[in-house]
């Protein structure tokens, strides 16, 4: 179905799109200090592409996230998380998500972080299609220990609740 100016259209026009990094975001929530205190933060999206196909299941997606952009507003914590103790952003500067399966409610694929690749499924919670772009918000929960990030058990939260919001424009 072709997109129009009506934001209720559910499927964007067929073709290749790029992720507009200026209007897209990756936010996270977790807990630390034995689960007592909330932590919220962001990562910068470096880039990505979306290929919308017919049928929708043949669509593809690739998102690149700058690992060193980890930001919570606490410089000491942020620098510690970027270090080799946690994310080791000098050795692993990118996180990537490559989707192999797309439908109207979810996107499934492979998340690679810290040199480790694992299956991941993002649930689509909102989408808005316009004539010249589309925006999708999707969420997932990631267990950091599955990616080899095991430092500070108990002190640092094990799970991160991620929200990816991307605006895509024709390539």
Residue boundaries of the structural domains of the chain:
15-170
The predicted-structure confidence for 108-145, as pLDDT tens digits, reads as follows 999 999 999 999 999 999 999 998 899 999 999 999 99
Architecture of domain 15-170: Beta Barrel (2.40)
Dihedral (C-alpha) 81, 114, 149, 156: value to the nearest 10 degrees?
30
pTM over 0.85: yes
User: Token pair for residue 130?
Assistant: 């316009």
Q: Assign residue 68 a region: left if phi > 0, alpha if psi is -120 to 50, beta otherwise?
A: alpha
Q: List the one residue out of 78, 141, 87, 143 whose CA is nearest residue 113.
A: 87
Residues of the chain with pLDDT below 50 are 1-9
């Amino acid at each position: 179905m072709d997109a129009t100016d009506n934001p209720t259209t559910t499927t964007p026009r067929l073709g290749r799109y790029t992720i507009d990094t200026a209007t897209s975001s990756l936010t996270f929530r977790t807990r630390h200090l034995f689960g007592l205190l909330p932590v919220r933060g962001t990562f910068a999206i470096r880039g990505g592409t979306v290929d919308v196909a017919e049928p929708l299941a043949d669509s593809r997606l690739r998102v690149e996230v700058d690992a060193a952009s980890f930001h919570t507003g606490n410089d000491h914590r942020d620098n510690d998380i970027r270090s080799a103790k946690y994310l080791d952003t000098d050795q692993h500067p990118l996180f990537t998500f490559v989707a192999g399966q797309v439908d109207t409610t979810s996107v499934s694929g492979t998340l690679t972080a810290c040199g480790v690749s694992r299956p991941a499924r993002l649930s689509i919670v909102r989408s808005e299609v316009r004539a010249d772009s589309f925006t999708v918000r999707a969420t997932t929960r990631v267990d950091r220990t599955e990616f080899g990030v095991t430092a500070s058990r108990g002190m640092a939260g094990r799970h991160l609740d991620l929200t990816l919001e991307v605006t895509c424009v024709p390539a």
